[in-house]
Structure 1
Amino acid sequence: MRPTFEDTLAELIRPEVEAIGCRLWGLTSPSKGQRRIIRIYIDGHDGVTIDQCAEVSRQVGLLLEVEDIIPGAFILEVSSPGMDRRFFSTAQMNDYTGSQVAALLHEARDGRRKVIGTLVRVDETEFTVKEDGQETTLAWNDLKEVRIVPEF
């Protein structure tokens, strides 16, 4: 499978993020009119600080200007994944077994596009949630996005 623009961008910026003592949680790059928005999510063992986000923004911004891989104008945003963190791979979900997750499917399944349940199992290409006593297995490629549901 050919790498996406986001995959290429992630591999380019990962060393910059790690040099600052953080890990790259994920990124998105939607277009908004004539501009592309690069949203970078970083994390650390004890979370991340505003100063770390600002440092990543400076370093990655310089790198993107020098490498010139983004056509046209772009906006760079750097933040933590937050309490309702979006997962960018099933591997990221392993530490969240037992937590509530919300998955949005590309296409409706049994008349629904959204599945909310307790994360039961995770493997490389799919994961299983328990919802109202029923287990549902979802393939990663069938998902638009999946997020943790914060519990207060």
Structure 2
Amino acid sequence: MPKERVTDIVERLALPIVEAAGLELVDVEYKKEGANWYLRVFIDKPEGVDIDDCSRVSEQLSERLDEVDPIPNSYFLEVSSPGAERPLKKPSDFERAVGQYVHVSFYEPLNGQKALEGTLNRFDGESVELEVMLKGVRKTMVVPLDKVAAARLAVKL
């Protein structure tokens, strides 16, 4: 049986804490940057999170992580908002983003494009429909979800 990933363990520990605070657990990252490890937990709510939300979740999660001790090395815990360019990972993220401007990158080029930005018109669980501008022409593209490497909300410039 494969060893459980740190992010999966932390997600399982964080979820009840985040939900009890009336928040949504958006994502968990565990990354090494330079000599340090960072455990980042992203939370949100419809009206946005504030410093008190982040602080409350951080304190409770830190206590829970100390009890369970799932991470053998030292790390910095950061709890924050996902920001304006929130990642789209779960089906509910895509559903909520319909009608919004998004950035989608692909595992391999699709019609010569490695990434597209445009309005997410539709999500059916298996594909996304994007309205994009390519060479000054408005096009609608349907992209199978298994071709999407990453997706996020985007700020339209």
CA offset digits 1:25-62 (Å, max 9, x no partner): 22222223554322111112321110110111111112
Percentage of pairs with the same residue? 28
CA offset digits 1:51-110 (Å, max 9, x no partner): 110111111112112211123122211111222211121321212211110012232223
Counterpart residue identity of residue 138, structure 1: V
CA offset digits 1:110-132 (Å, max 9, x no partner): 33221111101112233221113
Counterpart residue identity of residue 144, structure 2: A
Larger radius of gyration: 2
**Residue of structure 2 equivalent to 1:94:** 95
SS of equivalent to 1:113: strand
What is the RMSD of the two structures over their aligned residues, measured on CA atoms? 2.2
**Residue of structure 2 equivalent to 1:135:** 140
- Structure 2 unaligned blocks of 5 or more: none
2: CA distance, partners of 1:99 / 1:67: 39
Give the 3 Å change call, closer, same or farther, for CA 143–68 of structure 1 in structure 2: farther
CA offset digits 1:4-24 (Å, max 9, x no partner): 543342122100111222121
2: CA distance, partners of 1:113 / 1:71: 37
Normalising by structure 1, what TM-score?
0.84
2: CA distance, partners of 1:80 / 1:115: 24
Greater shift, 113-122 or 136-145, is seen at 136-145
**Residue of structure 2 equivalent to 1:105:** 106
Contact 1:126–1:137 (CA under 8 A) maintained in structure 2: yes
1: CA distance, partners of 2:96 / 2:82: 15
**Residue of structure 1 equivalent to 2:81:** 80
Greater shift, 44-53 or 33-42, is seen at 33-42
What pairs with 1:35-74 in structure 2 (closer than 5 Å)? 35-74=36-75
2: CA distance, partners of 1:138 / 1:65: 43
Give the 3 Å change call, closer, same or farther, for CA 142–81 of structure 1 in structure 2: same
Length, aligned pairs only: 151
Contact 2:40–2:79 (CA under 8 A) maintained in structure 1: yes
What pairs with 1:20-39 in structure 2 (closer than 5 Å)? 20-33=21-34, 35-39=36-40
Give the 3 Å change call, closer, same or farther, for CA 140–9 of structure 1 in structure 2: farther
- Structure 1 unaligned blocks of 5 or more: none
